[in-house]
Amino acid sequence: MGTQTHRSSPDVLNRRTLQCDHRVLADLLRPGMAVLDIGCGTGAITAGIAKAVGPEGWVVGVDRDAPLLDMARREHAAITNLVFEQQDVLELSYDACFDIATAARALQWMANPVLALERMIAAVKPGGMVVVLDYNHERNAWTPDPPAEFARFYRAFLDWRAANGWNNAIADQLPDLFCRAGLADIRTFDSDEVAGRGSAAAAICTHLIEGVGRQVVAAGFLGEDQRVDAGERFREYVESRLDEQTLSMRTVTGVRRAPDSSATQS
């Protein structure tokens, strides 16, 4: 199984905000909360979390990518209740420290999302909440149909992900993962990202082709000329013919059960 080695586009990450791009979490935050943000990247959403919980709360953003964390620390140095740490979620050692542990668009890149979820659950207090937002790449849709060159690239992208052990439909499988992990009060929210012609949000797949696409080529799932053609045709499509792009997303929440006091009584 593969490990994610590409770097997400800082331009894409920095455009995201808590209110627009992690909406369910935004509604759950309260002043004074302690929050763990897994896969925080450049910290754009994490900074919003820190502002929402206020100075009486505290936030830790975790990522494996040191250059992205350097950007996060420089950009958000003035937020005193926010720290960034370089860690792998699979190696987290937090024990019942947080009110909420969240991951947005991160589990999709993990070959062992079950273990990642277990680490997140361990990090929250009993009665605390786990909040995960992610994609179902198999349900993403474009209207009208995108160019054949892009469709070929996208199929190669899905095949490359599958070969690395990454779940292309992780979003729709989260409720079952939460249930098997022992979380209570599991809830699912539609969180699709919908964008129209010419928008920056619709161009996210252009970044995908230009960034991740190079690894798809290196792994032998696509030719370099095919990647370049896909980028050119898709860019033209977004600017002139796209009506609507829908990236299929779900947010799933669950609560860590409190210990059964009766089980500890002698």
pLDDT by residue (tens digit) across 50-93? 999 999 999 999 999 999 999 999 999 999 999 999 999 999 99
This prediction has a pTM of: 0.93
pLDDT by residue (tens digit) across 196-224? 998 988 889 999 999 999 999 999 999 99
Q: How far apart are CA 133 and CA 249, in angstroms?
A: 7
Q: How far apart are CA 46 and CA 103, in angstroms?
A: 10
**Closest alpha carbon to 171 in 124, 202, 138:** 138
- pLDDT tens sequence for the chain (266 residues): 556 666 677 888 888 999 999 999 999 999 999 999 999 999 999 999 999 999 999 999 999 999 999 999 999 999 999 999 999 999 999 999 999 999 999 999 999 999 999 999 999 999 999 999 999 999 999 999 999 999 999 999 999 999 999 999 999 999 999 999 999 999 999 999 999 998 988 889 999 999 999 999 999 999 999 999 999 999 999 999 999 999 999 999 999 998 874 443 33
List domains and CATH numbers for the chain: 10-257 (3.40.50.150)
Q: What share of the chain is helix, strand, coil (3-state, %, to 5)?
A: 45, 20, 30
